[in-house]
Structure 1
Amino acid sequence: MAPPFTLSEDKIELQFATNHLGHFLLTQLLLETMKRTSHEQKKEGRIVNVSSEAHRFAYKGIYFDNLNDESSYSPMYAYGQSKLANILHANELTRRFKENGANLTANALHPGSIATNLLRYHSFVDGVVDWVGKYFLKNIPQGAATTCYVALHPQVNGISGKYFMDSNVAQPNSYAEDADLAKELWDISLTMAAP
C-alpha cells in the first residue's frame, strides 16, 4: 500500500502489478478449472477480489497511458487505482459469466481498516495507527469476516458483480460501475499479464 514508485520485475508499477495483475493472472489460470468443477459438481463457484474503500482515491478512473510513469505517480492514488481495478475485474467477470452461462460469481469487497503493517511506508502514520489503532481498527479475524461471508455464506448465492463492506452490499464509486472501463481494463490486463 502506497510504497515509493517501484517497478515489478516485469516493469509494471508495483501496486498495479501486485494488487491487480497478480489477481487477474491467477483468476485466468484457474478459470477453466473453476468452470469445469462448477459444472461437474453442480455447485456455484465464487471469485472474491479483496478491494478497498481506497478505490475512491484513485486517479480519475484508470490511467492506462501513465501506469508506469514515475513523474505522475502518487502513492495513494496508485493504490486506489489498483483497488478500483479489483472491482472492475469482478464486474467484467460477472458480465462474461452471464454471457457464457457459467455457474460462477465474482464480487469485490472492502475488508475494513485492519490493524496490520499495511502503512509501513508511512512511518509517522503507521506509528499513530499502532498507538491508537487498537481502539478503532478491526483485528485480523474481524477483517476476514466480509471475505469469508462473500466466499461462503448461502445468502450470497447467485449474487455477482457487487461490492461488499461489513458483510453487506455497498455502493462503490461511479468509475467502479463503468462497463466500458471494465472492458478496457480486461483487454489491457490480458496483454500485461501474458506469461
Structure 2
Amino acid sequence: MLTAQGLDLQFGTNVLGHLFFTELLLPALTKSSEHNKVPARVINTSSRMHTSLSAPLSGVDLVTVKGGPERDLWVKKAGKLGAPLGLYGQSKFIIISVSNYWAKRYPDVLVSCAVNPGGSKSDIARHQPRWKQRIVNFNQYPTPCI
C-alpha cells in the first residue's frame, strides 16, 4: 500500500510520521530542556522485526520507499509474505536510525531512543486474511490503555 504522496505506507507511517512529529515538537522540546535543565525525551516505537531483513548488513533498499515499477518488481519478487514483512522490518530499522540521529544531533536537548514494546495486540494485521491475523495475535498481549 502507498500513501497519498506515493510512498510506501509503512515508511510513511513508521518513519516520516515520527520524523515530522519530532521536528514539529523540537522548539517545545528545546524550550523544555532549557527550562528544566534536563534533556527532553523522544521515544520511538520500533520492533524486533528490524532484524528480519538484511538492512543492517546491506543497507535499506531505497527502491521500496517510493511507488513505481521498480518497487512493484521488488514486491513481486519478495512475495506475498516477504514484501509486507520486509517493508515493515525495514521501516523499523529506519526509525532506529532516525532515533539515533536525533540523539547525536541534539545531545544536550534530547534523549532519543527506539524501543521494542514487545508483542502487543493491535490492528496491524487488519488487512490480512483472518488466518494470518490469528497467527499474528497468537502470542500477543493486549495493548495497554492509558
Report the TM-score, using the length of structure 1 for normalisation. Answer: 0.61
Note the C-alpha offset of 1:90.
0.9
Aligned letter for 1:83? K
Shift, 1:29, TM fit? 1.0
SS in 2 for 1:108: strand
Contact 2:29–2:109 (Cα < 8 Å) also in 1: no
The 3 A distance-change label for structure 1 pair 9 and 44 is same
Partner of 2:79: none
Task: Compute the displacement of 1:129 (Å).
Answer: 4.8
Q: Decide whether the 8 Å contact of 1:58 with 1:78 is kept in 2.
A: no
In 2, Cα distance between equivalents of 1:89 and 1:106? 9
Does 2:109 correspond to 1:109?
Answer: no
Aligned-pair identity (%): 28
**Equivalent of residue 139 in structure 1, options 132, 142, 146:** 142
Q: Gaps spanning 5+ residues in structure 1: where?
A: 1-5, 149-195
- Normalised to the residue count of structure 2, the TM-score between the two structures is 0.79
CA–CA distance in structure 2, aligned partners of residues 33 and 78 of structure 1? 32
Which residue among 110, 119, 126 is the counterpart of 1:120?
A: 126
Q: Of the candidates 11, 16, 19, which is equivalent to residue 16 of structure 1?
A: 11
Count matched residues.
Answer: 131
Do the aligned partners of 1:38 and 1:44 also contact (CA within 8 Å) in 2?
A: yes
Helix, strand or coil at the partner of 1:140? coil
Where do 4+ consecutive residues of structure 1 move more than 4 Å?
none
Alignment partner, residue 64 of structure 1: 62
The equivalent residue for 1:170 is none
RMSD: 2.0
Quick check: 2:64–2:87 contact (8 Å CA) kept in 1?
Answer: no
Deviation digits for residues 116-148 of structure 1 (CA, Å, limit 9, x no counterpart): 222223221213455xx3xx322223xx8xxx9
Residue 42 of structure 1: which of 26, 32, 37 is its match?
A: 37
- Label 1:129 to 1:83 Cα distance change in 2 as closer, same or farther (>3 A): closer
* Match 2:105 to one of 65, 71, 96: 96
1:54 maps to what in 2? 49
Q: Are 1:77 and 2:77 counterparts? A: no
Structure-1 separation of matches of 2:62 and 2:37: 39
**Separation in 1 of the partners of 2:143 and 2:26?**
29
